[in-house]
Structure 1
Amino acid sequence: MTATRTPDAPLDAWRAYAAAHERLVRHLAREITRETGLSDADYAVLEVLAEAPGGRLRSRELRLALEWEKSRLSHQTRRMEQRGLLGRETCEADGRSADVVITELGRAAAARARAVRETSLRALVVDTLGAERVEGLAETAELLAARLARAADDDPYCRAALAADD
């Protein structure tokens, strides 16, 4: 017997996905904190810097990559700098501004956290969904990311928020 589809079925599917995604995000954050002592925000900053050329970015570039407000990034990077996970160095390009730079301690912490996250994602997502569904998930994510990028480009409020505090 087939389930009757209601007009709300697509939104119900989205709500179910969003709820599962939120649980997954919270689970991963708890695991990383338990195993490495890093918060979710610490990990987000370290991941972006670890992938950046030379492990360094201007604050504005880091803020845009994370889609954070200037004050949030400032507070977060200050706390991480105090713990030795990152530092600030004179910008190589212009010599006037400062770059946020991942330290060796930060790089090691990011690598440990990435290993914890990947192990958990394999067990919880990849092994649960299987190769075909993971491929579908990747295609869906690409479609949504492209659509969201277009929506952000078309939205003057979004453009203004991203440009704020430069």
Structure 2
Amino acid sequence: MSESLDRQRMACWRAYIESSQRLFTQLEDDLRADSELTFADYHVLVLLSEAPGQRLRMGELASRLVFSPSRLTYQITTMQKRGLVAREACPVDRRGSEAVLTAAGLLALREAAPHHLRSVRTHLMDDLDDTEVACLTRVFERLGRRLRADRDASATPSE
């Protein structure tokens, strides 16, 4: 059995879990009410809007979203049906495919962004001072790097 957490770390863990779930739910509810987009829809649209040519290979998009390939396929299929993205053969490697932002997807993102950012400010950022923002940024960037490295190491076949 693993060693249990001390009181301070257990309190931190529980506060993180409960508040992050509440925050995510609130942001998702606000996004759906204002735009009819899910949080996953919005994240896909943001990543595609920032990509060169507003397109990303499916594998790269899955990695950036932290989605399994099957989950990404489902996500892109539902967004295709709504005209937000297209799926096209990769011009460099015809065996691969890319998700491509459509004009309708870009418009949906542009319309949703101000409402979503207001929700992020209201439910998270407005309650933090600059020092807290800097601290959280350092913590989550460091955790993200470690978790990506751990995932990459476990995905690499051992010799």
Q: Which TM-score applies when normalising by structure 1?
A: 0.82
How many residues matched? 153
1:12 corresponds in structure 2 to 11
Q: Tell me by how many angstroms 1:94 deviates.
A: 2.8
* Partner amino acid, structure 1, of 2:9: P
Distance 1:150 1:82 in 2: 35
Distance 1:18 1:43 in 2: 22
After superposition, residues 71-90 of structure 1 pair within 5 angstroms as 71-90=70-89
SS in 2 for 1:136: helix
Which whole-Å CA distance do the structure 2 matches of 1:39 and 1:12 have between them? 30
Structure 1: give runs of 5+ residues left out of the alignment.
Answer: 1-5
| Inter-CA distance 55–19: structure 2 relative to 1 (3 Å threshold) | same
Alignment partner of 1:45 is 2:51: no
Q: CA deviation at 1:95?
A: 3.9
Amino acid in structure 2 at the alignment position of 1:22 = Q
2:130 maps to what in 1?
A: 131
Residue 3 of structure 1 corresponds to none
For 2:55, the equivalent position in structure 1 comes to: 56
Alpha-carbon offset, residue 96 of structure 1: 4.4
Residue 28 of structure 2: aligned partner: 29
Higher mean alpha-carbon deviation, 116-125 vs 20-29, is at 116-125
Shift of 1:47: 1.8
Offset at 1:22? 1.0
Scaled by the length of structure 2, the TM-score of the pair is 0.85
Identity %: 35
Map of 2:114 onto structure 1: 115
> Would you say 1:102 and 2:112 are equivalent positions?
no
Going from structure 1 to structure 2, the CA distance change for 1:146 and 1:70 (only over 3 Å counts) comes to: closer
Report the alpha carbon displacement of residue 149 of structure 1 after superposing the two structures with TM.
2.5
Tell me how far 1:40 sits from its aligned partner: 1.9
Distance of 1:98 and 1:17 partners within structure 2:
37
Provide runs of 4+ in structure 1 moved above 4 Å.
Answer: none
Structure 2 residues without counterparts, runs of 5 or longer: none
* CA displacement 1:22-76 (0-9 Å, x = unmatched): 1111100011100001112211221221121111112111112112122211122
Partner residue of 2:92?
A: 93
SS at match of 2:70: helix
Where 1:38 maps in the other structure, the secondary structure is coil
